[in-house]
A and B are shown apart, each in its own frame.
Chain A
Amino acid sequence: MNKLSLIIQREYLAKVRNKSFVIMTFLSPILMVGMIVLIAYLTKVNDDGTKVISILNESDYFSNDFNSTQHTAYVRFNDISLETAIDSTARAGYVGLLYIPHDEDLERVASNAFFYTGTTPNSSLIDGLENTFRARLREHRLQQLGVSAEEFARMDKSFEIKTSTFEGVQNLKGINEIKAAIGGGFGYLIMMFIIIYGGFVMRSVIEEKTSRIIEVIISSVKPFQLMLGKIIGTSLAGLTQFAIWILSAGLLLSIAFVIFDIDPAALKTGGDMANGMGMAAPLPSASQTMNLYAQEIFNIPWLMLICFFVVYFVLGYLIYSSIYAAIGAAVDNETDTQQFIFPIILPLILAIYVGFFSVFNNPHGPIAVGFSLFPLTSPIVMLMRLPGGIGEGGVPVWQLITSILLLIATFIGIVWLAAKIYRVGILMYGKKASYKELFKWLKY
Chain B
Amino acid sequence: MDKILVTNEVTKQFGKYTALNKVSLEIPKNSIYGLLGPNGAGKTTLIRIINQITYPDSGEVLFDGAPLKPHDITMIGYLPEERGLYKSMKVGEQALYLAQLKGLGKAEAKKRLKFWFDRFEIGDWWNKKILELSKGMAQKIQFIVTVLHEPKLLIFDEPFSGFDPINANIIKDEILKLKANGTSIIFSTHRMESVEELCEYIALLHRSEKILDGKLSDIKKAYKKNIFKVGVEVENGDMFLKELETKFEIKSSNYVAEDRQLDFTVQLPSDSSKSMLRFLSENGNVNHFVETIPSANEIFIRTVESKGAYE
Contact = CB atoms under 8 A, between A and B. Distances in A.
Interface-centre pick from A223, A427, A440 (highest chain B CB count, 10 A): A427
Interface in A1-35: 3, 6-7, 10, 14, 18
B53 A3 contact: no
B219 interface: no
Contact of B82 (A14, A215, A443, A444): A215
A120 interface: no
A14 B101 contact: no
A417 B84 CA distance: 27
Contacts of A223: 53
B289 interface: no
Contact of A212 (B78, B84, B100): B84
B38 interface: no
Interface string A214-247: 0111111101000000000000000000000000
A211 B84 contact: yes
A213 interface: yes
Contacts of B76: 219
A444 B15 contact: yes
A416 interface: no
Contacts of B84: 211-213, 216
Chain A interface residue bracket vs B: 20 to 34
B86 A6 contact: no
A429 B80 CA distance: 14
B71 to A, nearest CB: 12
B87 interface: yes
A216 B80 contact: yes
B310 interface: no
A219 B82 contact: no
Contact of B73 (A10, A219, A443): A219
Interface residues of B, number: 25
Given A212-B82, A216-B142, A10 B97 contact: yes
A211 B308 CA distance: 36
A215 B85 CA distance: 10
B80 A219 contact: yes
Given A216-B142, A443-B15, A6 B100 contact: yes
B101 A215 contact: no
B15 A427 contact: no
24 contacts: A10-B97, A14-B86, A14-B89, A18-B88, A207-B86, A211-B84, A211-B86, A211-B87, A212-B80, A212-B84, A213-B83, A213-B86, A215-B80, A215-B82, A216-B83, A217-B98, A219-B52, A219-B53, A219-B76, A219-B78, A220-B101, A427-B48, A443-B15, A444-B15
What 6 A-B pairs have minimum CB-CB distances, sorted nearest first? A212-B84, A220-B101, A215-B80, A211-B84, A219-B51, A219-B78
Interface of A: 3, 6-7, 10, 14, 18, 207-208, 211-213, 215-221, 223, 427, 429, 440, 443-444
Given A211-B85, A212-B82, 19 more contacts: A6-B101, A14-B88, A18-B88, A207-B86, A207-B87, A211-B86, A212-B83, A213-B83, A216-B80, A216-B83, A216-B85, A216-B98, A217-B98, A219-B51, A219-B53, A219-B78, A221-B101, A427-B48, A443-B15
